Chains A and B, each alone.
Chain A
Amino acid sequence: MNFTYPTTLVLHALANGFRHGFDIIDATELPSGTVYPILRRLERDDLVTGDWEDHVIAREEQRPPRRYYELTAAGRAVLAEARARFRVPRSIAARARRLRPSESS
């Protein structure tokens, strides 16, 4: 498969613990119309798995349950390969540190 730079960013965001579509958008600063098709493609190619979060969390935050994505083993391998090709901005990791406590569970 072909790794574009945006794909790499998305993979990197996932590896840094951004699990939901909109959090990945925030982390990568890519438009939503770019991130989602990438997620769909990664999911189709089994680099990412998606699932619904627990109802308990949703109820606590009084909103409908969100879908989250996680890297598979294959995804991790691919990310390592892609990192070698592109330089990933530090900002994602930085943002991950800042956002994680409140935004992702």
Chain B
Amino acid sequence: MPRMALRAALALVRVIAVLVPGNTRAQWTAEWAAELEHRSRQLARRSDSTWSRDMDLIRRALGALPDAAWLRRQFTLDADAVRDTAHGVRMLAKAPGFTVSVLLVFALGIGATTAVLSLTDALLVRPLPLPDADRVMTIWQVNRETGQGRLDVAPGNAIDLVQRTRSFEALAIAENWSVKHTLPGGEPLQPLAAARVTESFFKVLAVPMLYGRGFGPDDYRAGANRTIVLSHRVWLERFGADPSVIGRIAIFDENVPYTIVGVMPPRIELRLVERTRRPEPLIWLARPAFDAAERNNRTQGYWNLIGRLAPGVTLQQAEAELAVLSANLAREHPETNARLATEILPIRAHLAGSLRVLLPLFLGAAGILLVVACANVATLFLARGSSRVREFAMRQALGASRGRLVRQMLTESLLLATLGGALGLLLARWALDTVARLRPPDIALVDHVPIDLRPALIACGVTLLAALVAGLLPSVQLSRPAAARALREGRSSASRRTHNTLVVLEVAAAFVLAIGAGLLTRSFVNLVRTDPGFQADHVSVLQVFAYARQNTPEKRTRFFAEVVDRIRALPGVAAAGAVSSMPFGEAKILSDTLPFTIVGQVPGAGPAPLINIVPVAGDYFGAMRIPLLRGRSFDHTDSAQSPAVVLVSHSAAAQFWPDADPVGATVRFQLLGKRYEARVVGVVGDVRHDTLDRPARAELFLPHAQTGFGSMSVVVRTAPGSPVTIRTLKAQVWALDPRLSIYSSDALDHLVSRTLTGRRFNLFLLGGFAAATLLLASAGVFALVSFSTTHRLREFAVRMALGARRADIVRLVLIQAVALAVTGVAIGAAVALPLTPMLRALLFGVTTNDPATFVAVGIALVAIAAAACYLPARRAISVDPSLVLRRDT
């Protein structure tokens, strides 16, 4: 990758350019950049290995250092600084272990802190690209029953809210959409993500258009031309950034002409749908007038509301008004809205998503990591400082002033901090990119987070300070004769205590973070092992909304029966069915939780019991492999004309028929205005519904033929190796009705896995911190033990001369490390116990003080500490006692 090498070489030159006097720096950098550029072209023509070419470029770039140093010396005539740097580089190169450890520590500490603080800044502080963004609100539905919030709004409710509210100067409806874009030649391109919006949408955003205009009343008049607004990206990629696109016609879907009326400025991120990883809209369509089906649909939420508060209206006032409005809706439509409330969320809070709640946790983790990094840098410098006492004493004896020695230390620390900081920034960039890649779908704001240099500087400063304090101590102490003697003989007990305390602190901090990561890991494993009640592999799901096109229950019954039959007839399809409320499906059915009564049972006090009523068609249970526990399943004899029958789920049976067999019982309920009196014919297994961590709900299934429900998810199980793809399935639906909208389509295991994205993300972040801290702590133990082993070589030699065996010496080395680690673990446990309840909301199937996790992490830490002794211990036993004893006597 010659480009990589060139980029690295150029970066190197830019870093070195700092040395060049300011008045010629730009020219100097340009000269080096041009030469390197030229060289890399020249090399690209050569046939030798890329590695040697890359190295050639880097070696050339390194020559910039003497060049820059020469210029700097000419400029300042400051030979000392140059000499100190040169000496520093030589000394650091002579101690590669120390240099690499310090660089690593600097990089981890600075990188992690910078990444987390940059994230915080992006989510909570950085202004959004909308004017007065804190007045822009999103509105969601809440299921009061389950407490589940941030649900998409059902069309009927959305229309009513928009018409009735007075709190917003503009409140718009957006509906996710996608269009096939066709070039004038008839060539279809990749489909574009789109949003169909109402007139006030661009008034809510209030962003000046780059070109053209937003939608106005004319775009919504009956018979008006269809109009669209382009996002900056689409304008760039599909329309060649041509300002004259305004007024031009673009062809979408099947020969539908749209007039382009506007182009949005770049970087307006408005991902309103949070649960799915749908891309941000690329074009906006002026939506047609609401139809009757939409006005009456209060059960399927798939619309989004975004509004701008009217002048003078506070968030609280808007909340109060919406509470009244949704209470009114609940009164007017008790059957669908009784359990629904609305919530209002500022756009920033919405875009920050679930990360907003977790940020304090990650800030804490970054803080711990920074403290550990400081402790580690201090440990390393302490060790190095006292091992260089001889060098400093010699230089002092030869006439170097104390100030000169201090400056030498300063130069070395600065050198390390600069290089480490640069590595840290690279690490932070990588971390931010990874965050953007792994993020759960609801955190839209983290996609292009720039590195915030302020925290980078602060983190660099803090670690540098730790390095300086620890590094200067020995050289300062040198001037005190008593201390100097003590240092020459070994270490002062004060410095040994400081050293031990620092390492214990590191182990304790690593323990706290590792416990957090351990608990999250266990939760994740528990969750993945949870049986959802169905088999998710080889199942495809298509969510089909048929209300608009199939306008009577009879038509809908026939339509879905035909879809299922056609698909079932495909080769390679094992079973096919359909269900109204799809487990882990995309659009949520909001209010199918309805009251019902059991005939013959004496109703208790209070309201009637509630149950989720779910129409199913075809062989839904077979396609999902949901077991039939008792009685019979539905078959083709259960039609609109035959007596009503239902199946209940296992938990419904346990809840409502605690000591009786539900099969044969009769239940009464009402669905979409129709009364049912139905016989229970069987019991099926429980199924987890939205997430794996919530228990199965009580469900009551009835044959689709007896309801004519209009929005169903078609569920298809294919045989392994079957050629059937989602595309072939869609083709079957469109063969019956080519204009029908398929809301979403996906593989079921993917839908299930999607619900784990958030946990995976948390695990990545906290696990990353824990791993980094663990690495630092083990480096700390290693530094301490190898340092003290060096100083105890004489002692070991004496012991061996007196008959100690190698095992005894190894034990001596190990005991020191293990004692420190055990102390650290004990302190860490004491700190972690009161902290872990903060994680409670993230845990699943494990308690906050899970003994297994605590013990396992403790043992792992002690083992890591012991492993860090391997090299020092080998060194201790491999010395020849006679040599050590003869030295220095």
Contact = CB atoms under 8 A, between A and B. Distances in A.
The reply to whether chain A is a binding partner of chain B is: yes
Contacts of A35: 63
Interface in A26-85: 31-37, 40-41, 44, 58, 61, 63-67
B67 A37 contact: yes
A11 interface: no
A32 B68 CA distance: 12
A95 interface: no
Interface in B27-79: 27, 30-31, 33-35, 37-39, 41, 59-67, 70-71, 74
B62 A63 contact: no
A40 B69 CA distance: 11
Contacts of B35: 20-22, 66-67
A61 B41 CA distance: 10
Contacts of A61: 38, 41
Scoring A21, A32, A63 by chain B CB atoms within 10 A of each residue's CB, the highest score goes to: A32
A27 to B, nearest CB: 13
A64 B63 contact: no
B34 A63 contact: yes
A5 B558 CA distance: 96
Contacts of A65: 30, 34
Scoring B30, B31, B65, B66 by chain A CB atoms within 10 A of each residue's CB, the highest score goes to: B31
B67 A20 contact: no
A63 B36 CA distance: 10
A76 B304 CA distance: 79
Given A64-B30, A66-B31, A67-B31, A36 B38 contact: no
A26 to B, nearest CB: 9
B65 A21 contact: no
B38 A63 contact: yes
A34 B66 contact: yes
A44 B33 contact: no
Given A40-B70, A44-B74, A33 B63 contact: yes
Q: For chain A, what secondary structure do more than half of its interface residues adopt (helix, strand, loop), or is it mixed?
A: helix
A56 to B, nearest CB: 15
A92 interface: no
A34 B63 CA distance: 7
B19 to A, nearest CB: 13
Given A44-B74, A64-B30, A67-B31, A32 B37 contact: no
A10 interface: no
Contacts of B66: 33-34, 36-37
A9 interface: no
Scoring B37, B41, B59, B62 by chain A CB atoms within 10 A of each residue's CB, the highest score goes to: B37
Scoring B27, B63, B65 by chain A CB atoms within 10 A of each residue's CB, the highest score goes to: B63
Nearest to B33: A64
B71 A40 contact: yes
Interface in A2-32: 20-22, 25, 31-32
Contacts of B38: 20, 22, 61, 63, 66
Interface string B483-504: 0000000000000000000000
Nearest to B41: A63
Contacts of A32: 59-64, 67
A36 B31 CA distance: 11
A21 to B, nearest CB: 5
A31 B34 CA distance: 18
B653 to A, nearest CB: 76
A36 B34 contact: no
Contact of A67 (B34, B39, B65): B34
A37 B39 CA distance: 19
A19 B660 CA distance: 99
Contacts of A34: 63, 66
Contacts of B74: 40, 44
Contacts of B60: 22, 25, 32
A40 B67 contact: yes
Contacts of B41: 61, 63
B593 to A, nearest CB: 67
Contacts of A22: 35, 38-39, 60
B4 to A, nearest CB: 18
Contacts of B62: 32-33
Contacts of B63: 25, 31-36
Interface in A80-100: none
Given A21-B31, A65-B34, A33 B67 contact: yes
Given A32-B60, A63-B37, A37 B70 contact: yes
Scoring B27, B70, B71 by chain A CB atoms within 10 A of each residue's CB, the highest score goes to: B70
B34 A66 contact: yes
A64 B37 contact: yes
A41 B35 CA distance: 19
A69 to B, nearest CB: 10
A65 B61 CA distance: 18
A90 to B, nearest CB: 23
A28 B67 CA distance: 17
A98 B762 CA distance: 62
Nearest to A21: B35
Nearest to A30: B63
Interface string B406-446: 00000000000000000000000000000000000000000
B36 to A, nearest CB: 8
A12 to B, nearest CB: 20
B37 A36 contact: no
A32 B62 CA distance: 8
A65 B64 CA distance: 18
A3 B70 CA distance: 17
Nearest to A66: B34
Interface string B510-537: 0000000000000000000000000000
B567 to A, nearest CB: 57
Contacts of B65: 33
A87 B816 CA distance: 65
A45 to B, nearest CB: 12
Contacts of B61: 32
A40 B63 CA distance: 13
Nearest to A31: B63
B70 to A, nearest CB: 4
Nearest to B70: A37
A63 B31 CA distance: 12
Scoring A20, A25, A63 by chain B CB atoms within 10 A of each residue's CB, the highest score goes to: A63
Nearest to A65: B34
B93 to A, nearest CB: 15
Scoring B27, B62, B65, B66 by chain A CB atoms within 10 A of each residue's CB, the highest score goes to: B66
Contacts of B70: 36-37, 40-41
B33 A36 contact: no
A67 B27 CA distance: 9
A64 B34 CA distance: 5
A13 to B, nearest CB: 15
Nearest to A64: B34
A54 to B, nearest CB: 13
Q: Which 9 A-B pairs have the closest CB atoms?
A: A32-B63, A36-B67, A33-B63, A33-B66, A37-B70, A64-B34, A66-B34, A67-B31, A22-B35
27 contacts: A20-B35, A21-B31, A21-B35, A22-B35, A22-B39, A25-B63, A31-B63, A32-B60, A33-B62, A33-B66, A33-B67, A34-B66, A36-B63, A36-B66, A37-B66, A40-B71, A40-B74, A44-B74, A61-B41, A64-B34, A64-B37, A66-B34, A67-B27, A67-B30, A67-B31, A67-B34, A67-B35
Given A37-B70, A40-B71, 6 more contacts: A25-B63, A32-B61, A58-B34, A63-B37, A63-B38, A66-B35
Interface of A: 20-22, 25, 31-37, 40-41, 44, 58, 61, 63-67
